[in-house]
A and B are shown apart, each in its own frame.
Chain A
């Protein structure tokens, strides 16, 4: 089971070698055994999961199964899920049972894929290590002293530990790709607007994008087929014809032009990561690709720009958590202002409060032009760099993160050091471009290394093709943590 790809699981279900209920039970068993030490899940509800699995079995029996019907999946706790606790990793929503399904959840339900539970995450998706979760840090399955990355750390860890065959994640500045890299799995952040944000608790609306996380690129392509599509409930959702993201998986890479951004191989990059990425480049060359050096000069400003824009949007998005209508409210307070103050002081963690303060500051009267407007202009320049680069190449390749997983607590007292972990992932969010991370090796400590691909708008099928061909030639993506096999 733990070796099986999504397509293999789907085939077993279709040929009735296994039922969805049995499959779900096996994963639930593995969650029961491993989650206490890894803490990848905030909520597991076996009864609900098995009910959904039974419904999937009925669909299969009735001959109404889709490509992934019966295959279970874990959902990041950022997606509102009808009847499920939906916390976003925060004390603020520690009592919030969502009364509706996010669009992404609706799509997986419609595809007949039972939910294995809600995965742990950095509070309100703000973090790169999963240490800001109100529900405790997630441990990296490759070494429990290390972080899994974040914010979709629970999703990455549960897939890496094969507690779920796949998971949903969200990515605002790297929250799918960086934990995928640190946990040795594959994760894809689609073009902004491809997956509806409806029901996905907002962090930074102009950057947030949901995507699939799974062992392989082929799995991600199948999941993307389920997740994408126009949603009239999201005004930023794009109205496009439905694509089959598996269509180009088997295409040869002859003539592929791989762009290598000079700035992504410069100072600050761990040498083991650099070596693994270079080896991957050579592998792609063997498969027929050529390389071209490109420049993304303004990407060096991506972190400061991001830490103006994302907190600005977050400060406003998180205003609704005020203790009035749902969620946490301070048990004792005086007047209205005191209720707001205490509720938010107690309900939010330190990193969330830090970003709300930064955001409120950059939007305030007299600072707006210098920070927010200026950052928007640079955001445009960063996107322009990519547009220019894609004239010379089909896909951009580099490291996903500057290093491999770091130790729990190692960077939690130094926000800036933590922010630097998203150096290579943030530019794609700012430009709205698709990006993905796939495993390309291990460091000397046995921790996974991630390779990042950034494609042009709507070139997910091309990126998945490159990743799939690479994964056919290598086996990094199918390796599993020794102790957890």
Chain B
């Protein structure tokens, strides 16, 4: 039987606000346990939540960026359950009336574009952390994270492979960091993915029973976990078994998912509207003001890169992989007026060097302005492509500006045809055999002569000019 995989993702993005969603405590990562937990965060008797408008604005930005409906009145609910790192005994979240509904995101898988629709995105607070190590027979509670604002982004079950799920997660990651609502740091838990996975016989309308894989904190784990889970579900069904609705965890060491809780163990969260918080009202002025702060979005920028700089659709999507990369490309392209060449350099030489050094675009030792100047020197004939690579190395090492490096290292392309003619004459005089062979119709001999001239010029001759002059002289 042929099976079809159905995947929907729930992504918890930690919002990049300075303070928590319902208190003034800092959200900075890595502080000593419980040093960023105020009276509100530890839920002392009598304390009350006050909504951080910055978190609401992050959600508005996201809704605008994905073309969603922003609910003009949205409501915070209490999700009730007991856990030691949940200080109030309930999490403040949004159930019936989330701030964002609908919207869509475009992904590209194997060159095919696909649209993934979103169900909703709602604001909620994070819980604290239970620390089971370091405390013999006891559990430590760190409430620094309690109350950190999250936007939970829920997709429709529209993905059909782990590759699509990863492409969607990456596109979402790009978007939330692009619009500055999330730092995107997956190791620190700023972007956590839950995957709802089911399989069904190809062609069947109704969905199979899903299992939810919780808390995947890398794209690789997302892919591995889904692949394992899909295999497991298909094997189970083909062996005549049934899939029970469940929540599972992925063990990266063993590459397996394992049961966390079954449907029967699922909580009744007894949701109800939080009476401590008023419904959130979004008026057009507020939305308009937030809209004005939105940068150009990846999709719009891709289209513009294609029309303005003549780059391919694929290149445009690579160049908009992050806002920093896109900004870098655009600065370089503007500095040299050569979009395609700039794209090639950014995606080629620069990316390779950055990857090798494990550096981010923001940490690039070569600035966009420098790269732009370098490309301009290729364009004006000062440098050949080969010489330019040497100049790039100089820039990477911090040896100075482009023209200074060219000067200091004597990398200027030979433009004086008299000097070049002299070299060619010397080469021709030294290689009578090659001349004979060429005249006998062997093209290879011509290339050998070009190589000799380039060598004699120590790479500084303009290859096109060499070709031209050689041809004239040999005729």
Contact = CB atoms under 8 A, between A and B. Distances in A.
Contact of A236 (B78, B270, B276): B276
Given A316-B80, A324-B84, A102 B46 contact: yes
B408 interface: no
Interface stretch (A177-185, A198-206, A415-423, A453-461): A198-206
A232 B50 contact: yes
A325 B45 contact: no
Contacts of B277: 235
**Considering residues A204, A206, A363, A364, which has the most beta carbons from chain B within 10 angstroms of its beta carbon?**
A363
B42 A198 contact: no
A205 B276 contact: yes
A364 B269 CA distance: 8
Contacts of B271: 363, 368
A374 interface: no
Contact of A320 (B45, B141, B268): B45
Interface stretch (A29-37, A93-101, A245-253, A401-409): A93-101
A365 interface: yes
Given A99-B39, A320-B88, A336-B84, A88 B268 contact: no
A372 B272 contact: yes
Interface string A141-175: 00000000000000000000000000000000000
Contacts of A474: none
Given A205-B276, A236-B276, A319-B89, A363 B270 contact: yes
Contacts of B49: 235
Nearest to B89: A319
A316 B141 CA distance: 21
B276 A80 contact: no
Given A319-B90, A340-B82, A313 B275 contact: yes
B256 to A, nearest CB: 27
A198 to B, nearest CB: 5
Given A100-B39, A198-B47, A324-B141, A319 B80 contact: yes
B289 to A, nearest CB: 21
A197 B275 contact: no
Contacts of A80: 44-46
B77 to A, nearest CB: 10
Contacts of A197: 46, 48
A321 B80 CA distance: 13
Contacts of B359: none
Contacts of B88: 319-320
B56 to A, nearest CB: 13
A300 interface: no
Nearest to A200: B46
**Considering residues B45, B51, B89, B275, which has the most beta carbons from chain A within 10 angstroms of its beta carbon?**
B45
Contacts of B90: 316, 319
Nearest to A309: B275
A372 B44 CA distance: 27
A318 to B, nearest CB: 8
Interface in B30-53: 39, 42-51
A316 B89 contact: yes
B84 A199 contact: no
A98 B272 CA distance: 29
Contacts of B51: 235
A99 B40 CA distance: 12
Interface in B73-117: 78, 80, 82, 84, 87-90
A57 B80 CA distance: 48
B278 interface: yes
A235 B278 contact: yes
Given A235-B277, A319-B82, A322-B82, A202 B44 contact: no
Contacts of B270: 315-316, 360, 363-365, 368
Contacts of A319: 80, 82, 88-90
**Considering residues B42, B84, B277, B278, which has the most beta carbons from chain A within 10 angstroms of its beta carbon?**
B84
Contacts of A199: 46-47
B164 to A, nearest CB: 33
A333 interface: no
A430 B175 CA distance: 45
B88 to A, nearest CB: 5
Nearest to B38: A100
B350 to A, nearest CB: 50
Contacts of A206: 275
A233 interface: yes
A232 B50 CA distance: 8
Counting chain A residues whose Cβ lies within 8 A of the other chain, the interface size class is 35 or more
A319 B86 CA distance: 10
A86 interface: yes
B275 A86 contact: no
**Considering residues B78, B82, B270, B277, which has the most beta carbons from chain A within 10 angstroms of its beta carbon?**
B270
B272 A325 contact: no
A192 to B, nearest CB: 11
B426 to A, nearest CB: 86
Contact of A100 (B44, B78, B276): B44
A363 B80 contact: yes
Nearest to A336: B84
Contacts of B84: 322, 324, 336
Contact of B275 (A79, A102, A205): A205
Contacts of B42: 325
A5 to B, nearest CB: 31
Contact of B48 (A233, A364, A365): A233
Contacts of A363: 80, 270-272
B187 to A, nearest CB: 28
B89 A198 contact: no
Interface string A227-247: 000001111100000000000
Interface string A183-212: 000000000000001111110111000000
A234 B44 CA distance: 15
B81 to A, nearest CB: 9
Contacts of B80: 315-316, 319, 363
A174 B271 CA distance: 27
B89 A86 contact: no
B45 A86 contact: yes
Contacts of B45: 80, 86, 88, 93, 96, 98, 201-202, 320-321
Interface in B1-59: 39, 42-51
A316 B78 contact: yes
Given A316-B270, A316-B272, A235 B89 contact: no
Given A235-B277, A319-B89, A360-B270, A325 B39 contact: no
A247 to B, nearest CB: 29
A75 to B, nearest CB: 13
Contacts of A200: 46
A206 B268 CA distance: 23
A315 B82 CA distance: 12
A444 B305 CA distance: 92
A364 B268 contact: yes
Given A99-B39, A319-B89, A340-B82, A202 B46 contact: yes
Contacts of B276: 202, 205, 235-236
A312 interface: yes
Nearest to B45: A201
Nearest to B83: A336
16 contacts: A79-B46, A80-B45, A100-B39, A199-B46, A205-B275, A235-B277, A315-B270, A316-B80, A316-B272, A318-B89, A320-B87, A322-B84, A322-B89, A324-B84, A325-B87, A363-B80
Given A102-B46, A316-B89, 18 more contacts: A80-B46, A86-B45, A96-B45, A98-B45, A98-B46, A100-B39, A201-B45, A205-B276, A235-B50, A316-B272, A319-B90, A320-B43, A320-B87, A320-B88, A325-B87, A325-B141, A363-B271, A363-B272
Closest 7 CB pairs of A and B: A319-B89, A363-B270, A206-B275, A205-B275, A199-B46, A201-B45, A320-B43
Interface of A: 79-80, 86, 88, 93, 96, 98-100, 102, 197-202, 204-206, 232-236, 312-313, 315-316, 318-322, 324-326, 336, 340, 360, 363-365, 368, 372
